[in-house]
Amino acid sequence: MGCCGFDAQEQSAEELLSSYTDEEAEKYAQEVGVKPRPNETISEIDETGAFIRQPNSFIQKFGDKEGDLKAEAGRYAIYWAVGCNWSNRPVIVRDLLGLQGVIKDHLVTPSGKTNKYGHGFGDQPGHKDPLTGADFLSEFYKRAKPDYTGRATTPTLVDIIEKKAVNNDYHRLTNYLEVQFRPFQAEDAPDLYPKQFRKEIDEFNDWLFPHVNNGHYRMAFCQSPEAYDEAYEDFYESLDKLEKRLETNRFLFGDYITDSDVRAYVTLVRWDVGYYRNIGPVKKPIKDYKNIWGYLRELNAIPAFHNNSNARTLALNGLPKDNKKLFKSYNERILTKVDFDKLWADDGERRKLSRTPDEVFLRHKPGETYEEYAGEISDTIWNSSSWEDRNPKNGTLSVDASINPLKGLL
């Protein structure tokens, strides 16, 4: 029997989600004392109409110092959403590193029909989280920080023993998995974050965030033509730089996949099938960027990338069933008929750019100890409490993004 007195096999996940009403969500919210989800198009808009994303609030580091969070098997779970690029990152990295048996994961859904209370567990029996019994993601935030007033976001790393949020810092969460969880990784796990190159990777990641990863949201959530135009031009100028960089580099830093490639992939894989719907006229589809398109297809062929963030799933996710309306979306009319396996097939051409065409991952040095590999993960300006600090104009590089500063080194 299910947790609410019925056989969980009687209803599919889709049926469970469709049965989740706003009245039920309201009832649960009153019982556990959570508040409605803040609206970012109101609370995160500056005086120019630009969208300035809220900083992450749960940013306690994993590390070896007193007070740091400690890596531990079986204690944590990543709560994520199919459509959220930020939350696709840690599950991809977790799978690449072979940490599936160490860190659990769980997908969230909207709560009720209107999602008034944010992420919930609508596709689960009783509309509750099977790992903790929670009704809403925000419960973990409330338990960890009772006075928290921001949005409960994905990804959230939850301590499933204490049932509280411990980290929602998508800027650095993958780095903790790569470094602090090194003792738990598979024997042949790749080195996505080489110690000697972390400064360059961090700097590039902090450029990717405002100009590429957050580019869609800056266009989709802004409230003035001026803010929209600025975000639009910024994004496409940044794509031009990535296109040039990838002309002579198999991956963003050379021959091997790094943490930065995960971040670029999760944004660009969804542009032509999802993001385009919210931004108005598209200057150029991603598949028309020859180098970026080939790069994405090669990454998509790797199971950890494809299984956790692929174009077909993103294109068809959430489409209405039996829509009888005259005007149907492009995704309903066209993308449901596309052969994504054929469209996204890797032609192998980018192998020619590499000195090691048969190997896409850098491997750890034989005999390398955790102490040799470990190190404190850097801070990022994007978690500053200051709106001025989080202005996208602060996303600068010491070397133009079109140039790989580690050419020939990685």
pLDDT for res 323: 82
What DSSP string runs through 368-381?
--HHHH--PPPP-G
**Is residue 330 flagged as an active site residue?**
no
Q: Residue 14 pLDDT > 50, yes or no? A: yes
Is 217 part of the annotated catalytic residue set? yes
Mean pLDDT of 156-184: 98
Question: Taking 80 as the threshold, does the pLDDT of residue 202 lie above it?
Answer: yes
**pLDDT score for 319:** 83
DSSP H/E element including 77: strand 76-80
At 28 the pLDDT is 97
Mean per-residue pLDDT for 297-310? 97
User: Which pLDDT band, with edges at 50, 70 and 90, does 48 fall under?
Assistant: very high
pLDDT at position 325 over 90: no
d(C-alpha 4, C-alpha 180), whole Å: 39
Element of type H or E holding 76:
strand 76-80
| Mean pLDDT, rounded, for 180-189 | 97
**pLDDT band, residue 1 (cuts 50/70/90):** very low
Domain residue spans in the chain? 8-177, 194-394
Whole-number Cα distances in Å, 375 to 76, 152, 356: 21, 29, 28
C-alpha distances in angstroms, 98 versus 187, 198, 204? 9, 21, 25
Class of domain 8-177: alpha beta
- Which structure tokens are listed for 68? 């740091």
Is the pLDDT at 267 greater than 50, yes or no?
yes
| Active-site residue, selected from the candidate residues 84, 232, 265, 275 | 84
Amino acid at 75: R
Using alpha carbons only, give the angle 305, 310, 316 rounded to the nearest 5 degrees.
160
Look up residue 134 and give its amino acid.
A
Nearest Cα residue to 262 out of 313, 214, 288, 296 = 296
**pLDDT at residue 5 is higher than 60:** no
pLDDT value of position 221:
97
Secondary-structure breakdown of the chain: helix, strand, coil percentages, each rounded to the nearest 5: 40, 5, 50
Three-state SS annotation for 117-174: CCCECCCCHHHCCCCCCCCECHHHHHHHCCCCCCCCCCCEEEECCCCEEEECCCCCHH
Mean pLDDT, to the nearest integer, of 251-260? Answer: 98
267 within 8 A of 87, measured Cβ to Cβ: no
Model-level pTM? 0.95
- pLDDT above 80 (res 4): no
The CATH architecture of the domain made up of 194-394 is Up-down Bundle (1.20)
pLDDT tens digit sequence for 106-143? 999 999 999 999 999 999 999 999 999 999 999 999 99
- Judge contact between 80 and 91, C-beta under 8 A: yes
* Residue 47 pLDDT > 90: yes
Tokens at 392, concatenated: 């996208």
Give the tokens for residue 252: 């963003």
Please give the pLDDT value at position 79: 98
The pLDDT value given to residue 263: 98
For residue 191, what pLDDT band results from cuts at 50, 70 and 90? very high
Average pLDDT (148-173) is 97
**Confidence band for 408, pLDDT divided at 50, 70 and 90:** very high
Q: Residue 10: which pLDDT band, with cuts at 50, 70 and 90? A: low
Q: Which of 217, 228, 232, 265 is catalytic?
A: 217
pLDDT (tens digit per residue) in 205-237: 999 999 999 999 999 999 999 999 999 999 999
Residue 281: partners with Cβ closer than 8 Å, 6 or more residues away: none
How many of the other CB atoms lie within 10 Å of CB of 225?
A: 9
- Per-residue pLDDT band at 318 (split at 50, 70, 90): confident
- Using an 8 Å Cβ cutoff, are 194 and 362 in contact? yes
Query: What average pLDDT does range 8-37 have in this prediction?
Result: 90
